[in-house]
Structure 1
Amino acid sequence: MRQRIRTAAVAGLFIVPLVVGACSGSSSNDAGADRDCITDFDADTDYFPDKSTITDASGLAIDYHKSYQVVTVKEPSPGAAPASYVLVRCGAPAPKLDGALADAPAVQIPIRTMYSGSTTHLPAMVALDAADTVTGVSSADYVSTPEIRSRIDAGKVKQYADGGVPNVERVIAAHPDVLVSDGYEDASLPKLQRAGITVLSDADWLENGPLGRAEWIKFFAALTGREKKAAEVFGQVKRDYNAVTAKVANAPETSVLLGGVENGAWTMAAGGSYFGRIVRDARGQYPWAGDQSTGSAHLSIESVIDRSRNADAWLLSDMTVNSLPELYRQDERYRVFARPAKRAWNSTKAVSETGGNDYFERGVLRPDLVLGDVAAILHPDMFPGHDFTFYRHLPAE
């Protein structure tokens, strides 16, 4: 699950000078709140009384030191070497580092301005009470988060990319404290680096576990100094997710058809993928659940007809259809799946007027809500009156 607006990825370590002791802000007159900078540095003081502990995310590590922390993204883009970032409390002297960290990007925290390369970042920033730190987005149309939409409408958040490609001059002119990319390579990255723009990679989408992906809120907490708030938010998400899992733990498995035809092949989540795990935790079963690969399975429609035409329910996603007639107009072969079509649901309930789908935005931070919807679809008797957040039933007319 991801609705990402491509920007730039960090494939390794790069050098960005650290300005020590300064607490100056961005050129924006609507930057986040003034930083609580250190004014009388004491080398023996721990300036991080609230520390994040990573429990579910496999691709993120945070190590604390008294006046700085080291955030390591273990795979900043597919196949890339780990990247580490040194986050220094503003007002503290630059730490003396060696080895790979000597050349690691350095950031004064808490940041006051952030350009976001993916809509999935935005709910985390809002949950951390740091919405006013977001001053740029790659594509404004795809933003669903109300707090950021209102800032876009007020002119406080600017679009910095054209057709998904960053406008280098626009970013350089704004000079945000950081640009958090979406974990993809982009030719504009070297230009931004050379201009002194600090680019950090958020690789939450490479996590296969729903809770692991949600825990990347702690990445943004490290940038904003909101570790305590992140622990509260993620702790509640994890409790709610596990509560749904426990509720359906002894329910009989429901056979489910996933996905649909894309580019001539039937595409569905593999058993080891993010959504495959959601289905498993909701006590859903499908013939390819045993495929523990982490991406999508691409199958012949004949094989899906053979093995899933009599499934009890059908879960679609990322398809712009809101009724069965619309679905059949896309491909008449869907009519073969008459049984699962009676309980066909699509994750299009929360699509904005400009085309942003909150399922791919807030759903990343709130897998408990996604799981709740899927569990209610597969076991309706156990969730009477469920208020669906992301899914809508596809009517026959």
Structure 2
Amino acid sequence: MSRVPRLVPALLSALAVTLSTALGGCSDAPATHARDSRAGCITDFDPATDYFPDKSTLTEATNFTLEYHHSYQILTVKRPYLGGKPVSYVLVRCGAPAPALTGDLAQAQQITVPVRSLYSGSTTHLAMITELDQADVVTGVASPAAVVDPQIRSRIDAGQLVGYATAGQINVENVIGAGPDVLVTEGIEEPGYAKLRQAGVPVIADAEWLESTPLGRAEWIKVFAALTGTERRAGGIYAAIRTGYNTLVKQAAATKPVEVLVGTMYSGSWSMPTAASYSGRLVADAGGFYPWLTEGGAENRQLNFESVYAQAGTAPVWLVTDNWQRLADAVARDSRYGELAAVRSGQVWSATKAVTPGGGNLYWERGTARPDLLLGDLVAILHPELAGDHVFEFYRQVQA
């Protein structure tokens, strides 16, 4: 388990108490019930009763909303995918009658919650679900080979979880035959999703990747809490993540900023994140800087090697996501990399500490759910004087 720098041991203790208090005694704490029994279902419906005593409130996320009614919630995703219009879903507590709705909501998909079986279109969902201790809800993933999470991998190995888009295309017939309670998308609109909806399989758009901040993306754990009936647990987890993240930001802000180079060449272009991007925000919050981090507008600038080298070639640290084992691998990819100061000094760090033969990477899978751990890695890299006994979760130093 990764730890944040030792300069904040009191914080760790406080967070542990906070999280324990938030989760202890919860009706949605680690489940021992038989999920098929739909524990928590309404058995004697009373329209005057509020069946959602634990309600999620949002602090950072801007791409979804949750509205509570007595026996159902309305989940609205403002941008379900690039260019998509807002879409709402009605989440009905099991045992309650279907609500009589008007207007656009009359045509909205209705999903009975808590769900018993969920198909996940993106590995970013999985870490949020396991943080909620709801791994047994996941019965399908798009590509099992890409999964890193040990709880989900054990379900794959036990035959309790299937792949439904292993060739990159949804097997519509198999999904319809399995009949999951819900399929959560990867934030794009595949042609197969319309067919699933027509066949009665609820499809919910997960578009956390359209959030511009790390904490905004992490708050999508509350969407999965709404689906699994674990709102109180999600609130405690997210509060601890947010506190840990913001404490690290303050620590980094108190140090001297460090120049850093990010990204690599791909298809003849260097995609450089700006201040408007998720990755740029992480670097800034970790106390790093580079010339394009002051730019807004588009989230990335497409640059040639010469312009990057001229303005950031002397940066002492280089952050990459390429799975290079040795510095020679980087130079073999592009001989010009050998001229970078970070390559000459050996300060190249790759976000590939935990990868699978099938292409899965814990950085992509868990980094979204736990930006506090991700920021902890970056602070330890850029400010080793703060690292203490930090254990890296996502990054590793590329060997000479």
| TM-score (structure 1 length as normaliser) | 0.90
Task: Using the aligned pairs only, state the percent identity.
Answer: 49
Amino acid corresponding to residue 324 of structure 2 in structure 1: V
Q: Could you list the per-position Cα deviations for residues 29-85 of structure 1 after superposition, in whole angstroms to 9, with x for gaps in the alignment?
A: x96663421111111110000000011001010000111110110100111110100
Quick one: structure 1 residues 32 and 364, their matched pair in 2 at CA, closer, same or farther if it must change by over 3 Å? farther
Say how many residue pairs are matched. 366
Q: Which residue of 1 aligns with 2:361?
A: 357
Q: Which residue of 1 aligns with 2:175?
A: 171
Distance in 2, matches of 1:119 and 1:341, equals 35
Distance in 2, matches of 1:194 and 1:238, equals 39
Pick aligned residue for 1:120 from 95, 108, 124: 124
Higher helix share: 2
Distance in 2, matches of 1:140 and 1:357, equals 12
Q: Which residue of 1 aligns with 2:380?
A: 376
CA contact (8 A) 1:284 1:378 kept: yes
Amino acid corresponding to residue 298 of structure 1 in structure 2: Q
Pick aligned residue for 1:75 from 72, 75, 79: 79
Distance in 2, matches of 1:31 and 1:38, equals 15
CA contact (8 A) 2:318 2:342 kept: no
Q: Could you list the per-position Cα deviations for residues 174-216 of structure 1 after superposition, in whole angstroms to 9, with x for gaps in the alignment?
A: 0000000111121112211111111000000101100000000
- 2:264 matches 1:257: no
SS at match of 1:361: helix
Please list every run of 5 or more consecutive structure 1 residues that lacks an aligned counterpart in the other structure. Answer: 1-29
CA contact (8 A) 1:113 1:178 kept: yes
Task: Give the CA deviation at 1:338.
Answer: 3.0
Distance in 2, matches of 1:129 and 1:182, equals 21
Q: Which residue of 1 aligns with 2:341?
A: 338
- 2:200 matches 1:196: yes
CA contact (8 A) 1:283 1:375 kept: yes
Q: Which residue of 2 aligns with 1:18?
A: none
CA contact (8 A) 1:115 1:134 kept: yes
Q: Which residue of 2 aligns with 1:60?
A: 64
Distance in 2, matches of 1:344 and 1:157, equals 37
Amino acid corresponding to residue 349 of structure 2 in structure 1: W
Q: Which residue of 2 aligns with 1:289?
A: 293
CA contact (8 A) 1:31 1:135 kept: no
Amino acid corresponding to residue 372 of structure 1 in structure 2: G
Distance in 1, matches of 2:258 and 2:187, equals 35
Quick one: structure 1 residues 300 and 48, their matched pair in 2 at CA, closer, same or farther if it must change by over 3 Å? same
Q: Which residue of 1 aligns with 2:31?
A: none
Distance in 2, matches of 1:249 and 1:389, equals 22
CA contact (8 A) 1:32 1:132 kept: no
Amino acid corresponding to residue 69 of structure 1 in structure 2: Q
| TM-score (structure 2 length as normaliser) | 0.89
Q: Which residue of 1 aligns with 2:325?
A: 322
Pick aligned residue for 1:312 from 298, 301, 316: 316
CA contact (8 A) 1:208 1:294 kept: no
Please list every run of 5 or more consecutive structure 2 residues that lacks an aligned counterpart in the other structure. Answer: 1-33
Distance in 1, matches of 2:37 and 2:204, equals 21
Quick one: structure 1 residues 339 and 34, their matched pair in 2 at CA, closer, same or farther if it must change by over 3 Å? closer
SS at match of 1:275: helix
Task: Give the CA deviation at 1:228.
Answer: 0.3
Task: Give the CA deviation at 1:374.
Answer: 0.7
Task: Give the CA deviation at 1:385.
Answer: 2.9
SS at match of 1:289: helix
